[in-house]
Structure 1
């Protein structure tokens, strides 16, 4: 199944009933999911890209709670995740996670990136949340190639949905078409998993 050319579209991967991972185009700061994930820096300070956008949209409450957490526990390490208020955002929580800096792919980047997704979903599940939205972690100024990041993010999200108690819906909310295409391609490739994989999935929707 080919991806649409210049049109916007979504790709949904159903993981059991009612689990779903969806790849879509949108502004994560305007989404109405229970939690949105922030591609944070270790100091939990407002930065550039999606991090700066989330802090601006969430307002002082998000930044102040981040500063309190940083003061109490020290820097957030790559692969870790922590939740704060969402401030003025429509979400209930912002989950902050620190992605890896791309250094060629042979320095544990995939393991750290997988931990970002896994730990963020765990935090959301511990909070009893049902749905959440991720940006394409580390694909901005941290330099992780979107095509490679997608092949970490999509299988990890699918796997976590199989064991989550509360989380049933995960959005991969992409800011631009090229990243959407990369994550959609990885999602579509999951249609025919190898025998023995612990989930049954399929592509149900492209529009």
Structure 2
């Protein structure tokens, strides 16, 4: 039930969330190392992550897949390919699919806690305010159907992004 799932927003590093069962990688289609979140997660997890990702790639925008977390302090990494803004269409729906598919996958893996970065807001060009609204609606729309998840945390790189997501999610400061 949604009233059993706690929502949080923190400013921080997605690779340093030791109290979470899993974190979400804002992945590229080939699930390889890159810049931004994907690069940070691959560097922190180590080379075994790229090896584990190979048979799962390529993925499509909105899709989510899961691997072990290897060198990260979590059990699992859920990899999502967010849409490139105004290129992968409909961008809003594909971004919502990322959040919803990641949440459902985490729940099916019987994970109790999951951390998200701001998917598609970096190199993929999604405006932060719009992405936060899409994320909030997507997260709220599936919470009542989750059985295992008890904590969903947005881990944002900047204080400004944290404020935007906190407001969109309706989390008091």
Q: TM-score range by the shorter chain?
A: over 0.9
CA distance in 2, matches of 1:20, 1:84: 24
Residue in 1 that maps onto 2:24: 37
Query: Unpaired segments of 5 or more residues in structure 2?
Result: none
- Map 1:21-100; keep pairs closer than 5 Å: 21-32=7-18, 33-70=20-57, 75-100=58-83
Question: Per the alignment, in what secondary structure is the counterpart of residue 84 of structure 2?
Answer: coil
Residue in 1 that maps onto 2:130: 148
Structure with greater Cα Rg: 1
Per-residue CA distance 1:29-86 (angstroms, 9 max, x = gap): 000210100000111110100100000000011111011322xxxx100000000110
TM-score normalised by the chain length of structure 2: 0.94
Contact 1:85 1:94 in 2 (8 A): yes
Query: Unpaired segments of 5 or more residues in structure 1?
Result: 1-14, 189-202
Question: Per the alignment, in what secondary structure is the counterpart of residue 115 of structure 2?
Answer: strand
CA distance in 1, matches of 2:42, 2:87: 30
* Paired residue total: 172
User: How much has 1:155 moved relative to structure 2?
Assistant: 2.0
Question: Per the alignment, in what secondary structure is the counterpart of residue 170 of structure 1?
Answer: strand
Contact 1:21 1:157 in 2 (8 A): no
Runs (4+) of structure 1 moved beyond 3 Å?
none
User: How much has 1:133 moved relative to structure 2?
Assistant: 0.1
Residue in 2 that maps onto 1:109: 91
CA RMSD of aligned residues (A): 1.6
